[in-house]
């Protein structure tokens, strides 16, 4: 994740979770941020992404076949639209986030070398 502060500094970090990011309709991911404007980058505190999501439509079937570097790749499954309400909190400020469109995917990918049975 990367954010730009009001004074133009770029802060970045990776979220850490002990389990699933998407947990039964909720998301809560803490981030330790570093200031990328300094050399070497220094700690810039922490942020958190949190919110909720719900299924908001019927699943759409997915079937895609592509050639990729000597392989036939077949992707099958579904995607389902989501409604989301996410925000990012940093330094006492809460920022609403837009996730549009948002989807839940349930896909299976198979790869087979071209020419092999």
Write the pLDDT tens digit of every residue in 9-25.
889 988 766 667 777 89
Question: How far apart, in whole angstroms, are the C-alpha atoms of residue 41 and residue 44?
Answer: 9
Percent of the chain with pLDDT over 90: 62
Residue 13 CA: distances (Å) to CA of 33, 41, 90: 5, 11, 12
pLDDT value of position 3: 86
What's the angle, vertex CA 92, arms to CA 88 and CA 95, rounded to 5? 30
- Per-residue pLDDT of 32-68, as tens digits, reads 999 988 889 899 999 999 999 999 999 999 999 999 9
The mean predicted confidence, pLDDT, of the chain is 90
pTM of the model: 0.71
Cα Rg of the chain, angstroms: 19
């Amino acid at each position: 994740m990367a954010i730009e502060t009001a004074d133009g500094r770029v802060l970045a970090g990776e979220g850490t979770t002990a389990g699933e990011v998407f947990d039964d309709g909720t998301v809560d991911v803490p981030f330790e941020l570093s200031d990328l404007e300094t050399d070497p980058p220094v700690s810039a505190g922490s942020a958190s992404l949190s919110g909720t999501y719900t299924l908001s439509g019927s699943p759409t079937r997915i079937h895609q076949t592509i050639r990729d570097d000597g392989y036939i790749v077949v992707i099958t499954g579904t995607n389902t639209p989501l409604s989301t309400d996410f925000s990012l909190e940093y330094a006492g400020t809460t920022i609403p986030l837009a996730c549009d469109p948002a989807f839940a995917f349930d896909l299976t990918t198979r790869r087979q070398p071209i020419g092999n049975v």
